[in-house]
Amino acid sequence: MTALDHLLLFSAATVLLALLVGQRPYGGWLSTVFYAGQFALLMQLAGVGYSGGIIVSSFSLTVLDHTMSWRFDALSWFFAVITIGAALLASWYSAGAWGKKFRADGGNIGLLHLALALNVFSMLLLLASGDFLSLFVGWELVSWASFLLMVMAGGAASRAALKYVTYAMAGAMAIFAGMALAYHYAGSLQYLDFVSVLPLLSASQGWMLVALFGCGFAVKMGLLPFHLWQAAAYAETPGPGAAFLGAISSRMGLYAIIVVLFQLIGLIPIEALKISFTFLDGQSLLGWVAAFSIIFPTFTALRQNDARMLLAWHGIGQGGYMLLGLAAGDALGSAGGLMHVFNHATYQAALFFSVFAVVHQTGTSDLNKLGGLITRMPISFLVMLVGIIGLAGMPPMNGFVSKWMVYRSLMLEGMPLLFVASVIGTLGTILSVYKLIHNMFLGQLRLEHQNVREVPWSMVAPMVILAAIVLITGMMPGLVLEPIASVQAALGLPVVNYTLGGVDMASGALDMIWVCGILFGGFAIGAILFYSGGRTQHIHQLDNYAGGHFLTADTRYQYSDNFYAGLMRVIGPMYRYSFQWLENSIHSVTGLLGSGMKSWYRNAQPSFYLLATAVLAMAWVVVL
């Protein structure tokens, strides 16, 4: 038994525990303890994560002469830390008051715990996969486990989940076809055989493999044009589930892309794949797919009026930065892309927690029906503030550091248009997150929310922990860059020259310890200046006026709907919903074909078929 066996078995035990006692009031706490156990076991493997190497599971399976094996390397460890960490905090969040209310509202809390535990177990299996077959098995398990989590709320959630599973099946078919092709070329499903046969393949064979695997994995990642399922599926999932899915689930697609496209095939052969009649090659195609995956979903998020949907759309957009950094291919870009996986998980989970805390207390996440909650729920507000600064990628939060690395790498590699595209994505994010925090926490407090209270500590604690991680890893990014450097070494990428405060390089380094120190020093000076001024007189939140009139609290004057009206007059007509249109047309073509087939085999016109068959039979007799 190796340490990896312990981890996987303990994760399976968590599934069993959730199945047995998930319904009980203490089930949530017990699962949380078990996730903490998984985390501790994962830390036993920290050697793999920090100094490289591979740890192999002693368990293997042979199916039809194909050996399936499982192992952990630095990349698996890095993703596993995020997975188990997200599950631990999500489970904690759901264990106390949230779970009680969920149960009281008729939700099946046991199923939620079970689905979460299954997700973690299947993700660990996927991360540990050591060959194409175990990768595919893990992939399918992850797909179905996340389907279970998405579908459990019923109603709109099950519609979104069904859409997801349709996409996931299509993606899995593409991956399966890619595997079949790889098997055809290599004669085995082992990675090593595949790598050894790669140099012998022609360009069209290479394209075929890259396209099949790339498209298949891109579905889960939510890259354009396969992104339409994701926002609704994540947003409709119950609170902690949504936070978990938003934090890590779609990154499994990125993991598989890294393993197959970057580790096995490698960027240099992909760069050698030229697209005829254009200046593009495989690498720049990846870069542009990433850039469009940043811009379109971000500006779709800007138009959302539901806080959960807004965050879920940003989750798709932020995935683009990860791929963009990796596609840039140098030490800085790939480190930035990988670091963004961690950073995104932390602030996205914090943001979802904060939004669901508001939903927990007010019952709505409609951005036009909230406002002014800052005085009622100050901790949730602060967590959201930290989260949005991270999501928008501004100092001093961790999202800035990873984005800085991506920008800097695009500068060094001389990719101006991708750089501008990625900054436009960031600016769109700033607009969108301000709308989020303004419409929920700032502005006018609604009368019906006057007695809202802060959520209890069982929900506050995970939020605050995440916010602290966002801030601390923003000030000391070296903490995250250390395992990333060993991931880069494991992947055969150039290794980033990191320090505790950031990145050390000629012509423009980054030292976040100094930057943040000076920033907080600046805030201190600002505070001294401010608080040494005259004594302030605090006005009650509901004491307001506009246009020279006093406003009573029952007059609604919150500026929330169509928040960026001026901007929308310019870019509004650019929203063509082309992808939605494409999806709908595929949907109706499939429906048409389906009903045609159905009327065929269901014999809607039996007399006609009988006549046709008789005529054919007679013709056959006569002709012969």
Partner 1 sequence: MSVIEILIEAMLMPLVAFVVGLFMVLMMRKIGARIQRRVGPPLLQPLYDIIKLYSKHTQTSHGWMHDIGIVMAVGGYVAAEAMLPVPGMNGIAEKGGLIVLTYMIMIPSLGLALGVGQCANPNGSIGIARALTAMLAYDVPFVIVVFGVAWHFGSTNLVEIIAAQQATGPAGWGITEMPLLAFAGLFALQGMLGKQPFEIYVAPHEIATGPMVEMSGKHLGGLFVMQCFQLYTAAVLYVTLFLGGGENWLTFLAKSFAVVAIPMSIAFVFPRYKTDDLVRLLWKWPVMAGLLGLAFVMN
**Which positions from 542 through 561 interact with partner 1, judged by CB under 8 A?**
544-546, 557-559
Of 360, 408, 446, 449, the residue at the interface with partner 1 (CB under 8 A) is: 408
User: CA-to-CA distance for 597 and 588, rounded, in angstroms?
Assistant: 14
Interacting span for partner 1 (CB under 8 A) from 33-41, 129-137, 288-296, 526-534: 526-534
- 570 or 623: CB nearest partner 1: 570
Of 344 and 446, CB closest to partner 1: 446
Regarding 427 and contact with partner 1 (CB under 8 A), the answer is: yes
Q: Is 63 in the site for partner 1 (CB under 8 A)?
A: no
Residues whose CB falls within 8 Å of the CB of residue 462, separated by 6 or more in sequence, listed in order = 89, 90, 92, 93, 353
CA dihedral 218, 571, 310, 163 (to 10 degrees): -40
Binding part of the chain for partner 1, among 312-320, 537-545, 577-585, 604-612 by CB under 8 A, reads 537-545
Nearer to partner 1, 187 or 526 (CB): 526
* Minimum distance from residue 536 beta carbon to partner 1 (Å): 4
Inter-residue contact 494 to 470 (CB < 8 Å) = no
Judge whether 4 and 72 are in contact, CB under 8 Å: yes
Q: How far is the CB of 584 from partner 1 (least distance, A)?
A: 30
Chain centroid to CA 577: 22
The residues in 280-299 that bind partner 1, with binding defined as CB under 8 A, are none
199 lies in the binding site for partner 1 (CB under 8 A): no
- Hey, which residues between 119 and 138 contact partner 1 (CB under 8 A)? none
Question: Does position 390 bind partner 1 by CB under 8 A?
Answer: no
Q: Give yes or no for residue 535 binding partner 1 (CB under 8 A).
A: yes
Task: Establish if 379 lies at the interface with partner 1 (CB under 8 A).
Answer: no
Terminal alpha carbon distance of the chain = 71
539 lies in the site for partner 1, by CB under 8 A: yes
Q: Given the structure tokens 């605090």, which residue do they identify?
A: 538
- In whole angstroms, how close is the CB of 377 to partner 1 at the nearest point? 13
Q: Which residue has 């798709």 as its token pair? A: 316
**Which one of 119-127, 147-155, 388-396, 483-491 is the stretch in contact with partner 1 (CB under 8 A)?**
388-396
Cβ contact 372:445 at 8 Å: yes
Per rule CB under 8 A, is residue 369 in the interface with partner 1? no
Window 436 to 475, contacts with partner 1 (CB under 8 A): 437-438, 441-445
Inter-CA distances, 477 with 88, 401, 443, Å: 22, 7, 34
Q: What is the DSSP letter of 511?
A: E
Which range, of 24-32, 373-381, 589-597, 613-621, touches partner 1 by CB under 8 A?
373-381
Q: Are the beta carbons of 68 and 125 closer than 8 angstroms?
A: no
Task: Report the run of H or E that residue 412 belongs to, with start and end.
Answer: helix 398-412
Determine which residue in the list 207, 434, 575, 579 makes contact with partner 1, applying CB under 8 A.
434
Interface stretch with partner 1, choices 75-83, 106-114, 405-413, 457-465 (CB under 8 A): 405-413
Rounded Cα–Cα distance for residues 440 and 369 (Å): 8
Give Cα separations from 47 to 50, 70, 143, 410 (angstroms): 5, 17, 30, 32
